[in-house]
Structure 1
């Protein structure tokens, strides 16, 4: 009896332990994410970005923003005054119907008149290229509460500075609509197929970063515009192969060495309708930017030669078309930038009103810095200097003579906000928390919204005054922290090392979930690597797919390879006329460093994955460093720069006739015979950016050498390959299974 009692106690004990263990295992298992959850976990990991569609109004004293009403689901436009803390409701979309219909009014974006009297809405956006599309535009009078149709099926529209008119481009011509008289006037009349007034073609929009090819003068008297003639540009033809007889799409697309669009710069006097052409000899070059200066009727035009290593700034009289050369710059060891796609800075020239001075961001001393000039083209002073880069200018206040800018002075891995006087004095750092700070600021520089994160802190959104006061915490993303607490999460860690040729490189590493230093893990490079780009920052890691890979036992690495932005001229321009080689070299150097440094990285299981330029680099790296990389996942790759567009390629590779061997050696197809590992390529037949021709020529080159490649074609997709949620899931599941089979589980 006693023995039976003891047995029962033992049985109960083991059952209890087993139950608790099972419960713990179930709880632990619930912390892991499924593959489908991982693909869409980016939103939960990045969290809220704070107020949406922020537009600073009243010179920066207030900002308007949109929010979704949690009870009604309606989209609200509100305005907030940081000084008074007044938060005012301006517009509710559910209160309005699309004029002439019973449908609730919806919009994509909006803009204000300077006097805050009107709002112009962009609605029913239908994309054409990366930045452009066809839209319907409406205007709303705040005082009367009336919503009216402005124009249907227009490409771009913009309010005049005085708020009395709206200019717009439709079907290749420019128009103006008088809000007070409710009258439309046509300003140009020569628009035709592949011939536009106030509209760019594909190559200018894609590679110079603007969608709107016209601009109001400050006094609202003139509109300056690009006239684009693509009638002699060769056509790129694509199809999604649907139907019995597929339909083909044609896009004028100039490839390396071929004819570019013809460009003229015109001005039109809005009241008289008189058009004037600026007397500018393009010399087979480009006009990437123009600006209205503070002098009435004075237009500044930026000209560049075709290789984009020679820049001139001209001033033109809008009424006569006569011009004067103001300044110029040449760079024999690289290219000259006029904007930075990756930093989100659209302009390197700034012409503030009220003063006859302009500012230019240039790397003439080896790093991007701000220079101040007078209107005669004489350098007044260099505003900033040091072995660091100015990455963005947020505001220039002529009254206080302060410039507000972001830079890498703290670290190339971080961005911080500073202010400085026009003469270079009184520099002050405004952001102090470590991390990558993205700034939204009004024209006067009094207030700003700071969105920042670091490797230990999810995105924070704060409203500050430049006097140094935190006015309001707009978002702390506590939901992200809670999600990370309840789910497994692999944080990003930063590292740096010196390559065998003496260059310091910065990188990031994500270790597997349940990391065990006594285990052995496969290493995957997840890279982009293109000129001016930067892959590693001191910022929060929010990629769901990366978290899945970490959960499945991968080490994920990225590195700021040579060619990256943020490190100065020499670091970036070393890749000039020699794309691919230094980038792949640095990926291989990083792999060797990590393999030597950490016993838990398996040097026989190293893979690389990238898309677009990253697709180029992943394919180039596995072919030129076959002893390092065993698997490559290649998305939408350029495989031969002779197949890509003029503006991008010739900027970095020079003209074909001047660098034929460089083009040949930078082509992935040239190195096809070197393939030893496994390569997976995904592309879309409707990719208007990097044409599927690139992938087909690589497959042919590999086949000619007896080398095999795994290929997936997604016909309807564009440059992103996937074209809907189902295809997106399939694409990334295929990527993952390929890595599992050929890298993770490789023998």
Structure 2
């Protein structure tokens, strides 16, 4: 609620700016409108019933639980797929009373402080996380106790599977030149952070080093004085394997990988790049009067990065086997090395600086000879983030090694759409394309090596539905036997039982409340409609769902999808100014696809606006050509498509006032919002730009080089709001936080400087 009120403070400013932009809107927003806007979320709370927001199977059983809305809050329900019996998952009243005593706070049966849980002890107890601490509650006597405290700064509600180590380059640890670190899977709401590798600190002889034991248990490998050493397990004597490590070019512990037979190991020697520092002034610290200086490492486009090079060691011979690097000459990153189980070779993934070349490299265990197993070369960009069904955060990179790499399943956009391919892992040749068509693979749920089947998510396969809706399918390795597991017109989330015998399908749309169905996998038959959302009380208040609207884009052929939200007291006889919520980051698509009772856009609409959100060209989850519009051209932001979409709405609805169009956005959306006034001032009149990355040379390297490319060239200048600030027309409010560690606050201040030099009028809000 606090965040909503802060956000609504910005809304007030939007209204004020619009009032300056046009005398027709001076009366926009009465006192009653503001009161209604601020109270809207609370007013709507609890009016939508039987809305399912969590569902999960109990491991190795035919039972699942889910959480649904009820009068006063939520309740948890347990369902048996074999008997179709449905009952409360536990005694909510007893659990609430026990938790209230244990935590010193008052909870009711419908206001339990968690949304996710795990059944343990043969379903005789549950565990869940509250404020980062893990709790255990016995379902016999309902005794509750805290079993794990929240670690300082630890993620909240993180599941163990999100912490596994794997050779993946997620956003929070390996984007700035590669010293390979243990990785952590990003959450759907992950912020855009940049984290540099750990500094190379020499491990002195007196220090006890981290060790990596060999598979046979005989040896321990470690780093000392920048070099790789081994020693017999439990012994003090250290045997050097390398001698060429130095402070400027050190071996890294996290990259050490033993061969399965313990006869060889590989480690990365990393030449250290430039360590850019960004400084922040905390003007108003809470613990002292005087300001504080904060400094952090933060790589930016064009910076010299760490360069990793694999080195293979023969443990018995105590020698290094050189690996020639012509196949991976200019790495942005190398993934951690992984050995085949039979020890014939190890592989790593090479992401070339500029993200136009991505390769799977295999290195022979005996000779150290590298070869290319899989090669992706693209004239624009290879979207190297992990393949994910998350609408807002996805990429193309997916690899599954079948039978110890004899075959490899790989994702690629080489035919213009994101699809799966089957490679011969021994020859490196494509055996066949598995999925094919004018649609997009969004994720892989399961690979069944024995049945040679893939269970996956895709969107765009159904021409009569929104092309962003996720559906579930099964297909054979050879591309035959494509089978749809979902069909309802909506965005789907499916959960399979451990034995894949059953699945639950939760689907909804922005204009259709969630439906939860239990299905049998064998014939896809619906065994039970478990829940169906009831919004009758919600509709009685005057609440209406967003309208989905489709118009043709700049090419006259491509559908552009968006939504409109109208005020609850909407009167079609009046003219309404329009406000667009923009975020055009190419890493995802952002128009909501599933049901929601409330978003902050609704409060803005209550002030007398029509609020819209659109996915223009340059965003993800459509064709490669659709996505490529962003390449070296972030200033585009899909604006030609957005403007045509607005005009199509106005052609249908006379109350849609194109003379009063405002826009707002945050982060990359902040860049977009200001760009609207710089490059399209004849259409957009007012902008609120929050924490914008206004010059892509000033922002974090991993996000900007992915889309703007490397080396840094004139195209960076062409997309810069700083360089184009003199073009400003219309009213703009710039917002910046002085301690923003995501986007360098100087990016906004450089816009301010450029606007002052150009004698432009603007508003600025600096948040201490």
TM-score (norm 1): 0.70
Determine the structure 1 residue equivalent to 2:628. 573
Supply the distance in 1 between the matched residues of 2:497 and 2:312 (Cα, whole angstroms): 29
Partner of residue 447 from structure 2, selected from 378, 396, 408? 396
Q: Is the 8 A contact 2:737 2:766 kept in 1?
A: yes
Of 496, 503, 510, which residue of structure 1 is paired with 2:550?
496
User: Are 1:663 and 2:716 an aligned pair?
Assistant: yes
Which of 642, 655, 660 aligns to 1:587? It is: 642
Determine if the alignment matches structure 1 residue 350 to structure 2 residue 400: yes
1:288-437 equivalent positions in 2, closer than 5 A: 289=335, 292=338, 295-297=341-343, 298-317=345-364, 322-340=369-387, 342-343=390-391, 347-353=397-403, 356-375=406-425, 376-408=427-459, 409-410=461-462, 411-437=466-492
State the SS of the aligned residue for 1:669: coil
Partners of 1:42 and 1:230 in 2: CA distance: 53
- Whether the 8 Å CA contact 1:531–1:563 is kept in 2: the answer is yes
> Does the 8 Å CA contact 1:307/1:335 hold for their aligned counterparts?
no
Name the SS of the counterpart of 1:239 in structure 2.
strand
Structure 1 pair 674–304 and aligned structure 2 pair: CA distance change class (3 A): same
1:259 alignment partner in structure 2: 304
Alignment deviations for residues 276-329 of structure 1 (CA, whole Å, 9 cap, x no partner): 997656423223545747643443311122111112211135687553221312
Q: In structure 1, what is the equivalent of residue 727 of structure 2?
A: 674
Q: Does 1:105 align with 2:148?
A: yes
- 2: distance between equivalents of 1:599 and 1:630? 19
| Counterparts in 2 of 1:110 and 1:512: CA distance versus 1, 3 Å | closer
In the alignment, which residue of structure 1 is the partner of 2:38?
A: 35
Aligned residue among 219, 224, 238 for 2:280: 238
8 Å contact kept, 1:639–1:668: yes
Change beyond 3 A, Cα 1:667–1:683? same
* More displaced stretch, 271-280 vs 482-491: 271-280
Structure 1 position 487, deviation (Å): 4.3
1:530 aligns to 2:570 (yes or no): no
Match of 2:332 in 1: 286
1:50 maps to which residue?
A: 54
- Structure 1 segments unaligned to the other structure (5+ residues): 1-28, 97-101, 114-119, 123-128, 134-153, 159-168, 200-212, 716-747
Q: CA deviation at 1:634?
A: 0.9
**Per the alignment, do residues 95 and 196 of structure 1 end up closer, same or farther by CA in structure 2, a change over 3 Å counting?**
farther
Cα 1:521–1:225, aligned 2, differ >3 Å: closer, same or farther?
farther
Tell me whether 341-350 or 507-516 shows the greater mean CA deviation: 341-350
- What is the alpha-carbon distance in structure 1 between the residues aligned to residue 123 and residue 410 of structure 2? 37
Contact preservation (8 Å) 1:634, 1:679: yes
| 1:41–1:544 CA contact under 8 A, matched in 2 | no
Cα distance in 1 between the residues matched to 2:269 and 2:43? 43
Provide the residue aligned with 1:10 in structure 2.
Answer: none
Equivalent positions of 1:157-168 (< 5 A) are none
Q: Does the 8 Å CA contact 2:273/2:305 hold for their aligned counterparts?
A: no
Selected match of 1:694 from 747, 750, 753: 747
What SS does structure 2 have at the residue aligned with 1:351?
Answer: strand
Distance change >3 Å, CA 277–CA 394, structure 1 → 2: farther
SS at match of 2:507: strand
Query: Alpha-carbon deviation of 1:665?
Result: 1.3
1:260-279 equivalence runs, <5 A: 260-264=305-309
TM-score normalised by structure 2 residue count: 0.68
Do residues 610 (structure 1) and 646 (structure 2) align? no
Contact 2:37 2:606 in 1 (8 A): no
Alpha-carbon distance in 2 for matches of 1:42, 1:222: 61
What are the Cα deviations for residues 238-288 of structure 1, in whole angstroms up to 9, with x where unaligned? 232324454333332221211113334579999999999976564232235
For 2:42 and 2:260, the matched residues in 1 are separated by 47
Partners of 1:226 and 1:446 lie apart in 2 by 44
In structure 2, the residue corresponding to 1:38 is in which secondary structure?
helix
Describe the superposition over 1:427-447 as per-residue Cα deviations: whole angstroms up to 9, x where unpaired: 111012211123445787555
Question: 1:540 offset after TM fit, Å?
Answer: 1.7
> Contact 1:395–1:444 at 8 Å: present in 2 too?
no
1:458-497 aligned within 5 A: 458-462=513-517, 464-467=519-522, 468-470=524-526, 476=532, 478=534, 481=535, 484-485=538-539, 487-497=541-551
In structure 2, what is the Cα distance between the partners aligned to 1:382 and 1:43? 48
> Does the residue aligned with 1:72 lie in a helix, a strand or coil?
helix
Report the Cα distance in structure 2 between the residues aligned to 1:301 and 1:130, rounded to whole angstroms: 18
SS in 2 for 1:680: strand
Cα distance in 2 for partners of 1:476, 1:270 equals 62
For each residue in 1:66-99, what CA deviation from the matched residue of structure 2 results, as whole angstroms up to 9, or x when unmatched? 9894443388954499xxxx85536585559xxx
Of 542-551 and 513-522, deviating more is 542-551
- 2:576 maps to 521
- The answer on whether the counterparts of 1:528 and 1:613 sit within 8 Å (CA) in structure 2 is yes
Alpha-carbon contact 1:406-1:415 (below 8 Å) kept: yes
Query: Given the superposition, is the C-alpha separation of residues 452 and 35 from structure 1 closer, same or farther in structure 2, using an over 3 Å criterion?
Result: same
Q: State the shift of 1:593 in Å.
A: 2.7
* Aligned-residue offset at 1:669: 1.9
Question: Alpha-carbon deviation of 1:463?
Answer: 5.2
For residues 94-133 of structure 1, the aligned pairs below 5 Å read: 94=135, 105-106=148-149, 108=156
Contact 2:273 2:304 in 1 (8 A): no
CA distance in 2: counterparts of 1:290 and 1:414, whole angstroms: 34
Whole-Å Cα distance in 2 between the matches of residues 708 and 688 of structure 1?
Answer: 28
Q: Is this contact kept in 2: 1:294–1:353, CA < 8 A?
A: no
Structure 1 residue 626, shift from structure 2 partner: 0.9
Deviation of the 1:394 alpha carbon: 1.2
In the alignment, what sits opposite 1:72? 98
1:436-451 to 2 correspondences below 5 Å: 436-441=491-496, 446-451=501-506
Alpha-carbon shift at residue 374 of structure 1 (Å)? 1.1
> Equivalents in 1 of 2:723, 2:43: separation in Å?
38
Quote the offset at 1:361 in angstroms: 0.9
Is 1:597 paired with 2:652?
Answer: yes
Distance 1:224 1:79 in 2: 41
Seen in structure 2, the aligned counterparts of structure 1 residues 686 and 461 have a Cα distance that, compared at 3 Å, is farther
CA distance in 2, matches of 1:221, 1:551: 69
Distance 1:275 1:483 in 2: 72
Residue number in structure 1 paired with 2:688: 633
What is the DSSP-based 3-state SS (H/G/I as helix, E as strand, rest coil) of the residue aligned with 1:581? coil
Contact 1:62–1:80, Cα closer than 8 Å, also in 2 = no
Aligned-partner Cα distance in 2 for 1:632–1:356: 55
What is the deviation of 1:330? 1.3
